[in-house]
Amino acid sequence: MKFNTKTIHGGQHHDPTTGSVMPPIFQTSTFAQTSPGKPIGDYVYSRTANPTRTALEEALASIENGARGLAFSSGLAATDCLLRSFKAGDEIIAMDDLYGGTYRMFTKVYNNSGIKFHYVDMNDLDNVQSLINENTKMIWVETPTNPIMKLADIAAIAKITKANNILFAVDNTFATPYLQNPLDLGADVVMHSATKYLAGHSDVVAGALITKTAELGKQLHFQQFATGATLGPMDSFLVLRGIKTLHLRMQRHCENGEKVAEFLDQHPKIKTVYYAGLASHPYHEIAKKQMSGFGGMVSFDFVSGAKQDSVAFLEKVKIFTLAESLGGVESLANHPALMTHASIPEEKRKEVGITDDLVRLSVGVEDIEDLLEDLKQALA
């Protein structure tokens, strides 16, 4: 199946007992057994597996071209599950620009349990190579990054991880499998905040891991069921329903994202627009190589460099809603330094370009004329 067919049919089956075309929401915690240890069907207890979650997990594996999908109660729960694979003394190399919550987990939770993190700009792969030693166990990249839209060359990093027997994980939340397939480019595991484009309607918090091999999938499923951060049946249904229109939504997110980026790029009050679709973007060539489009996330800052300009803009937008999160059908606007990335120390934020006047837009699928009009009036 090609991608647009997979979003609808990948890993899906009609319900064998009723013929239900869409998977039923199996709102049950447990499943009857005929004799101790002999369940009637394949299911025992919903933390281990639930048929609605299985339907979602098979869809996830299908759209990311992986062997196994796992659905979690949030994106951070998915990342947490992966990090439980490591022990004190292990080292992880990560991008220097990450979602604030991921950075908080690395620095405030796993650092305390003795795992060492290195944060580097992966534009220069010598930065990565020079940090590798016998303790290096994983390379973690977010590409494009939240919120500066930095990219990492997935295929080039995969060569390094394979040569050194290191696990390679990619947070594919911003790109989605519609635009980028990290497992095909050599990654071992893909993570998603399924809260975002996969679910697509800002009505659920969910996460996903998709593995290249069944063996890694089995190990991570063990961690998940042994620690418990699974996704409930109703939320699994909502994410699965969202995935069925991922390709349609992403097409419009890309069209609108490009137009918003071009508009902002020409605006006299705007200094820098961070969007990999612009020819001037430092990672434009990598984006063209590994992504089939540029998505709907656009960040920018002001010529004035003034925090009050970004705050005034965010108070004035009408169709864009000022809120955390991204990837829903509706347009959202966010102030990373004050909102989503406030947990990153100020000097670290400044190092990667998260200035106090940086604004991040999640461009939705509304009519582009209304979105541009809204930006125009708020900037005026």
- Residues lying near ligand P1T in the complex (CB under 6 A) are found at 74-76, 99, 101-102, 142, 146, 171, 173-174, 193, 195, 205, 207, 324-326, 334, 340
Two tokens, residue 29: 């915690």
Q: At what angle do helices 75-83 and 214-227 cross, to 10 degrees?
A: 110
Nearer to ligand P1T, 156 or 323 (CB): 323
**Residues contacting 64, CB < 8 A, separation 6+:** 172, 177, 181, 182, 183, 190, 210
- Confirm whether 271 is a catalytic residue: no
Nearer to ligand P1T, 50 or 173 (CB): 173
Catalytic residue among 6, 53, 68, 99: 99
Q: How far apart are CA 300 and CA 271, in angstroms?
A: 7
For residue 271, give the nearest of 151, 356, 146, 345 by alpha carbon: 356
Look up tokens 């499923």; give the residue.
221
Q: How far apart are CA 95 and CA 239, in angstroms?
A: 28
Nearer to ligand P1T, 31 or 358 (CB): 358
Catalytic residue among 90, 97, 171, 309: 171
Shortest Cβ distance from residue 180 to ligand P1T (Å)? 13
Catalytic residue among 47, 104, 137, 316: 47
Look up tokens 């969007």; give the residue.
275
Shortest Cβ distance from residue 94 to ligand P1T (Å)? 12
Two tokens, residue 199: 């679910």
Q: Cα angle at 307 between 303 and 313, to 5 degrees?
A: 80
CB 233 within 8 A of CB 87: no
Nearer to ligand P1T, 150 or 221 (CB): 150
Nearer to ligand P1T, 31 or 168 (CB): 168
Shortest Cβ distance from residue 207 to ligand P1T (Å)? 5
Nearer to ligand P1T, 31 or 106 (CB): 106
Shortest Cβ distance from residue 349 to ligand P1T (Å)? 14
CB 194 within 8 A of CB 71: yes
- Confirm whether 171 is a catalytic residue: yes
Q: Is 165 left (phi over 0), alpha (psi -120 to 50) or beta?
A: left
- Confirm whether 84 is a catalytic residue: no
In the three-class reduction of DSSP (H, G, I as helix; E, B as strand; rest coil), residue 204 is classed as coil
H, E, C per residue of 131-162: CCCCCEEEEEEECCCCCCCCCCCHHHHHHHHH
Shortest Cβ distance from residue 205 to ligand P1T (Å)? 5
The residue nearest ligand P1T at its CB is: 75
**Helical (H) or strand (E) element with 13:** none
Catalytic residue among 6, 53, 150, 196: 196
CB 270 within 8 A of CB 262: no
Shortest Cβ distance from residue 136 to ligand P1T (Å)? 22
Shortest Cβ distance from residue 274 to ligand P1T (Å)? 14
In the three-class reduction of DSSP (H, G, I as helix; E, B as strand; rest coil), residue 290 is classed as helix
Nearer to ligand P1T, 60 or 76 (CB): 76
- Confirm whether 283 is a catalytic residue: no
For residue 72, give the nearest of 185, 212, 186, 190 by alpha carbon: 190
Cα-Cα-Cα-Cα dihedral sign, residues 313, 315, 319, 321: positive
Nearer to ligand P1T, 54 or 172 (CB): 172
Shortest Cβ distance from residue 77 to ligand P1T (Å)? 7
Two tokens, residue 295: 């998505």
Active site residues: 47, 99, 171, 196
